[in-house]
Amino acid sequence: MPEPVTFPAPVLQQEDGQRYHYVPLPADVATAFEREGVRRVVATVNGTPIRRGILNRADGERYLALGIGFLRDVGAAYGDTVVVELAADPEPDRIDLGEELEAVLEQDEEAAARFYGFTLGNQRSLASYVTSAKRPETRVKRALDLAHKLRTYTLYGDLHPEKR
């Protein structure tokens, strides 16, 4: 495992296609993590930890995507420079489900079976959709809606096994 490393980074915004905020990784840092096979990291940004995957831009630059809510929580915005500490994630396969989604999946075996049959990346994406809501009521609504869509094969692009 590479040693944790600290560096300053600008908060940038992707303008083409899907818009998002990100911090670029220094090439030597990204290469050191890549050489060790590390794709998921714990990034501490301005003192606040967040678990992320190292992503690649088409131009070869490696970066960490950061949500606007997280940036607000750490007191940063587009154009600011933040202090980033990067360490290998000791639990790269862990997915933060949130208590609402976890409760729904515990009660709905059929939805849980489909959810856990997806790749870790898809599970992480679906869990993020639920946990990113600010209000508990919205997280509950999203978790219930997701379970329904899992059971009825109505997620975007979903095909029922009999129709494949």
pLDDT band at 121 (very low <50, low <70, confident <90, very high): confident
Q: What one-character DSSP code corresponds to residue 78?
A: T
Nearest residue to 130 via CA among 95, 156, 159: 95
Please compute the mean of the pLDDT values over residues 143-160 and round it to a whole number: 86
| pLDDT value at 130 more than 70 | yes
pLDDT exceeds cutoff 80 at 160? no
Domain 5-88 -> CATH class:
mainly beta
How is the chain split into domains, by residue range? Answer: 5-88, 98-163
Residue 31 scores a pLDDT above 80: yes
Q: Is the pLDDT of residue 164 over 70?
A: no
pLDDT at 159: 64
> pLDDT for 32-87, tens place per residue?
999 999 999 999 999 999 999 999 988 889 999 998 889 999 999 999 999 999 99
Q: What is the mean pLDDT of the chain?
A: 90
pLDDT at position 14 is 86
Lowest-pLDDT range, 3-7, 39-43, 66-70, 101-105? 66-70
What pLDDT, on the 0 to 100 scale, is given for residue 163? 59
